[in-house]
C-alpha cells in the first residue's frame, strides 16, 4: 500500500499562536502514525505561489492521513493554526 503525504506551506503572522498549534498538532500526528519529514522555513522557492515554512508529514496510508486531518484533535489544532497563519495544504498518495 502506498504511503501518503501531507504537504503544507505555512505563512505565520502570529508566532505565539503558531507555537500553540505546534504543541497541539504534534501529539495528533503521532496518534495517527505520522512522521514529520520536513519542517523548514528556509525553502528554495523556485516556482508558484506556495511560500512560507514547508512541512511534510508521512503517513502509512491515505486513509491514515485523512483520519488524522479529520480527527477532533487536529480539528482543534487547525483552528488555532488558522488564527495564526495562512496555509496551503494538500494530502497526496505516494507512488
83: domain range? 4-43+50-93
For the segment 3-11, the average pLDDT, to the nearest whole number, is 97
For the segment 12-21, the average pLDDT, to the nearest whole number, is 97
Total domains present in the chain: 1
Is the CA virtual torsion 5, 55, 15, 28 positive or negative?
A: positive
Here the CATH number for the domain that contains residue 61 is 3.30.70.100
pTM: 0.94
Please write the tens of the pLDDT for every residue from 28-72. Answer: 999 999 999 999 999 998 999 889 999 999 999 999 999 999 999
85 touches 18 (CB < 8 A): yes
Q: How confident is the model at residue 5 (pLDDT cuts 50, 70, 90)?
A: very high
Amino acid at each position: 500500500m502506498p504511503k501518503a503525504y501531507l504537504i503544507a506551506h505555512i505563512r505565520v503572522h502570529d508566532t505565539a499562536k503558531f507555537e500553540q498549534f505546534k504543541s497541539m498538532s504534534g501529539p495528533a500526528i503521532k496518534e495517527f502514525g505520522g512522521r514529520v519529514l520536513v519542517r523548514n522555513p528556509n525553502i528554495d522557492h523556485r516556482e508558484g505561489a506556495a511560500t512560507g515554512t514547508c512541512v511534510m508529514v508521512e503517513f502509512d496510508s491515505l486513509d491514515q492521513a485523512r483520519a488524522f486531518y479529520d480527527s477532533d484533535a487536529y480539528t482543534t489544532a487547525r483552528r488555532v493554526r488558522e488564527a495564526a497563519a495562512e496555509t496551503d495544504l494538500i494530502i497526496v498518495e505516494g507512488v
